[in-house]
Structure 1
């Protein structure tokens, strides 16, 4: 595979799987101690990657789950954030300034903070009440963060008695590192063609629904915009028909991500509409990828993880086609802002 280390990928994703038991124990202890809610407080891309876990809890649990921006929380506060809150802060670098500032405020409040980081010797690596370290890099962090946050959500459901097959689901999830590598290998021959679609326009409408909508948002903002300087319009598939559809015409690129959860029909609605008005609809559907040993329920849960692993292959080809390394920045962490 182009510019890709298979052993490194397996090591990183296996590292995420290995955190499950301790995440489960910490969540169980928090609930036993009287935790009343959970906040996922990431910044930028890391925050987006927490959305599927929050959505799962909001759909399946009566335990209040919140997704907030640290920068806003510091300025405005949050009525539900108390000493009885569990707070999950993801940061690959462990140094994200908005999240570090939020950590100081959380310590004043007395909330229990779980930090998910790639480096231990950092402010967030040292500052959390419970620190979970799994080294990763930009091209491998999505799957790791998606998986860790999913484990947190599943454990909350387990200890509240809101899920019956937690252990079976976790057992299936342990197969993911190898399965994801197989997905990458299988998609590699098609990745360049998708990359050519993205390289062929300076504007894309990127859409999806359900738990793959965050990946559409993430890929548009954090990869195409930040890492490739390609303008995008990420829009949820349900909102597509409340404004964005008026921009669809011949030559306009629409990129649709389809997952396997209950909200798949919202994506199918876009898929039925767009070809009538543009000749540039591109669909990436997780249902097309074999994941032997995973039940339909678990396939639905991991759809955003599968998309992330496929899109990494697309990005590897895209940076070569455009002669624009994914590490190139003009402003991000380069100038004061």
Structure 2
């Protein structure tokens, strides 16, 4: 057989039997109390069971009155241990919030704490149980490749920039669906980091397999324990974000970013690129993050006011430089996903190379300005759009007074170290996207035409 599929079949001749088969596309069997479920991934049925059978490629599932069993396509029995998920089913409920997206945005301080728990020491040393490469391997690395799609790609943008800055090593990020056809120069001296919330993204799996086939070691950065990506990787770093129900990712994205800092510290300390003082500074910043994010969340009223300013727009543009550009990309995607407004993000320096022609009176432009060394350059671009009549909304630190001269509205975030500032800056952009969608009356948790886990190419 060819192609990718996950099929569930019934027949009127045996009404109490279900047969399911998978090739490439993922499948799990949920074992409930007197009931059995077939789904593409664990979160789909988490509210009904925590016990699962993972169906491997080219296997068949037979469900009847005796229970569920897995066989080969030829019918030979396959022994498979039951996999128990430790997620709390209560996390898959709204818990008093109007939408899962808002609940998940507000869970981010706790998620950051969980992602760091037991992994990061105050001196910046890191212990990652399932990242098993030795010190010699870390020292031998010549390049690091991030591959991902969508929000995970934007996390990869931050990761690649972070690795270049801290490790002084070539670090690249490629869309998984492009990496497969771009002849990536990965090999035994390369580490490929595949980033996927679900661990089932078809294009990311294909790119990861390509990298492995060329001799690269594969590190899976994923949220779902037992996912295909986790099972196939050489090393695993689970983000521990818990079940994310809303299609638009928020807390899983933040957890991905935090996890990337842990990997960078793990490699950087071994290689000597990150000295003790810098490692301790980064650890201090990461441990401050839950409180900083909590404070950013407390300023939701400002995000609501900004949402009211752009809800009637037909186009919204996002600007940033360096790490701020990666955050702008993610903010733009969030707005597109849930509000259905056209949105575009670009490096601030690219504005004059075409997009400035689209800036007219009243067009909203959201500028992210947390990178202090790049502030003046970012403000130069803001001045350009302001001169064309744009309505400028800026994301900036509490201690940044200069921003008031250029921006019509400022979304203030608590002052943070440059390296972790972009994580905090993501919070108001998530809230703005959510509230624009709410004001427009959209189906926020299930945006049209989109799926949580993209299991097809």
User: What TM-score do you get using the length of structure 1 for normalisation?
Assistant: 0.87
Whether the aligned pair in 2 keeps the contact of 1:210 and 1:262 (CA below 8 Å) is: no
- The equivalent of 2:151 in structure 1 is 45
Structure 2, unaligned stretches of length 5 or more?
A: 1-96, 121-125, 399-411
User: Is 1:57 aligned to 2:178, yes or no?
Assistant: no
Distance 1:7 1:249 in 2: 35
Matched with 2:80 is none
Q: How does 1:311-322 map to 2 (within 5 A)?
A: 311-322=429-440
Confirm or deny: 8 A CA contact 2:106 2:297 kept in the other structure.
no
Q: Give the aligned length.
A: 328
- 3-state DSSP of counterpart to 2:340: coil
Check if 1:84 corresponds to 2:189: yes
CA distance in 1, matches of 2:107, 2:161: 30
Task: Find the counterpart in structure 2 of residue 162 from structure 1.
Answer: 273
Pairing 1:177–2:263 present: no
> How far off its partner does 1:301 sit?
0.7
* Structure 1 match to 2:322: 210
Stretch of structure 1 that moved more, 231-240 or 159-168 = 159-168
SS at the partner of 1:110? coil
Cα distance in 1 for partners of 2:336, 2:106 equals 29
Classify 1:261/1:42 alpha carbon distance in 2 versus 1 (closer, same or farther; 3 Å).
Answer: farther
Distance apart, 1:211 and its partner CA: 0.5
> What is the CA–CA distance in structure 1 between the aligned matches of 2:139 and 2:392, rounded to whole Å?
51
For 1:314 and 1:28, the matched residues in 2 are separated by: 43
Alignment pair present for 1:9 and 2:108 = yes
**1:330 is paired with a residue of what secondary structure?**
coil
How far apart are 1:324 and its partner, in Å?
0.9
Structure ranking higher in strand proportion:
2
The CA deviation at 1:5 is: 6.4
- Alignment match, 1:152: 263
User: Is 1:199 paired with 2:298?
Assistant: no
Moved more, 264-273 or 232-241: 264-273
- Alpha-carbon distance between aligned partners in 1 of 2:309 and 2:157, rounded to the nearest angstrom: 27
Q: Is the 8 A contact 2:395 2:413 kept in 1?
A: no
Name the CA shift for 1:269/1:154 in 2 (closer, same or farther; >3 Å).
farther
Question: Which of 232, 239, 253 matches 1:142?
Answer: 253
1:51 aligned counterpart, secondary structure: helix
C-alpha contact 1:253 1:278 (8 A) present in aligned 2: no
1:146-190 residue CA offsets vs partner (Å, 9 max, x unmatched): 1111232344333332333212321331121122112211x1121
Give the C-alpha shift of residue 59 in structure 1: 4.1
Whole-angstrom distance in 1 between the partners of 2:139 and 2:326: 32
TM-aligned CA deviation for residue 30 of structure 1: 6.0
Distance verdict in 2 for CA 1:120–1:257, change over 3 Å: same
- In 1, Cα distance between equivalents of 2:361 and 2:413: 30
Counterpart of 1:304 in structure 2 is 422
| C-alpha displacement of 1:238 | 0.6
SS in 2 for 1:94: coil
Q: Which of the pair has the greater relative contact order for Cα pairs under 8 Å at 6+ separation?
A: 1
CA pair 75-276 structure 1, distance change in 2 beyond 3 A = closer
CA distance in 2, matches of 1:59, 1:5: 30
**Structure 1 contact 228–324 (Cα < 8 Å) conserved:** yes
Aligned to 1:109: 214
Separation in structure 2 between the aligned mates of residue 260 and residue 103 of structure 1, nearest angstrom: 32
* Mapping of residues 10-29 of structure 1, within 5 Å: 10-18=109-117, 19-20=119-120, 21-23=126-128, 26=132, 29=135
| Separation in 2, partners of 1:210, 1:62 | 16
CA contact (8 A) 1:184 1:309 kept: yes
Q: Does 1:66 align with 2:172?
A: yes
Deviations 1:69-120 (A, max 9, x none): 22222223212x0022111111111111011112222332232211111111
- 1:127, distance to aligned residue in structure 2 (A): 1.7
Q: What is the RMSD of the two structures over their aligned residues, measured on CA atoms? A: 2.6
Identify unmatched segments of 5+ residues in structure 1: none
Pair 1:13–1:223, CA change in 2 (3 A): same
Q: Give TM-score scaled by structure 2 length.
A: 0.66
- For residues 268-313 of structure 1, the C-alpha deviation after alignment (integer angstroms, 9 at most, x for no partner) is 112222222215121121354334xx5xxxx101122011122222
The residue matched to 2:339 in structure 1 has which SS?
A: coil
1:34: Cα distance to partner?
2.5
CA displacement at 1:223 relative to structure 2: 1.2
Larger Rg: 2
Corresponding residue SS for 2:351: coil
